[in-house]
A and B are shown apart, each in its own frame.
Chain A
Amino acid sequence: DSGVTQTPKHLITATGQRVTLRCSPRSGDLSVYWYQQSLDQGLQFLIQYYNGEERAKGNILERFSAQQFPDLHSELNLSSLELGDSALYFCASSGRTGLEETQYFGPGTRLLVL
């Protein structure tokens, strides 16, 4: 158990809909990362937040948005869903152990768009 929690574990929805994925980082970690993993594209970095502010951005679609709240949990909002958005969505958090920035991944949310 990494200490990172994600809800829900599974999500089935229809095209055009909007969903919200939730992530709670490990206690003490300030950074939250979101990733998308699909069969044909591997693991894709979406966005990173650090202590409530956006820190780094990957190839995140304009239909997707994220935020990190004062209690450090984060939400990833996916709107106008398309079939191609079906994937595993992972959240990771990081803290500092000496000089290392260790990223701990949650169990993921499996999204299926029908």
Chain B
Amino acid sequence: EDQVTQSPEALRLQEGESSSLNCSYTVSGLRGLFWYRQDPGKGPEFLFTLYSAGEEKEKERLKATLTKKESFLHITAPKPEDSATYLCAVQESGGYQKVTFGTGTKLQVIP
């Protein structure tokens, strides 16, 4: 069974203090790994899709990387508006291409 584990569950950073969020996964075959940002009571907002080990994607202060077993979301010099829950999901390849989400990392950036 596909599994996605995100750590830490919660993270509190000072503004400007860079850090990384981790997403470990097990899947029989990976079609894609997704990162989302979710604000309370709202739908997840797409950030990145990664397809193969070694791939990296960047957007503003965020950078996502992928290995065969895990993905990292690096946040450089975060601002208070980066506070949100960050979700990771994997989609399996072949057959039913099921999507499995992690439970998320709740990030709080303090001014």
Is there contact, CB below 8 Å, between A105 and B104? no
Residues on B with beta carbons closer than 8 Å to the beta carbon of A18: none
Residues on B with beta carbons closer than 8 Å to the beta carbon of A106: 43
B22 on the A face (CB < 8 A)? no
Is there contact, CB below 8 Å, between B97 and A55? yes
Closest chain B residue, CB of each to CB of A106: B43
- B interface size (C-beta, 8 A): 23
Q: Which residues of B contact A (CB under 8 A)?
A: 32, 34, 36, 41-46, 49, 51, 87, 89, 91, 96-104
Q: List 5 interface pairs A-B (beta carbons < 8 Å), by A numbering.
A: A2-B43, A33-B99, A43-B87, A57-B98, A99-B51
Residues on B with beta carbons closer than 8 Å to the beta carbon of A90: 43-44
Distance in Å: Cβ of A107 to nearest Cβ of chain B:
6
Distance in Å: Cβ of A110 to nearest Cβ of chain B:
8
Are A105 and B44 CB-contacts (below 8 A) given A43-B87, A100-B49? yes
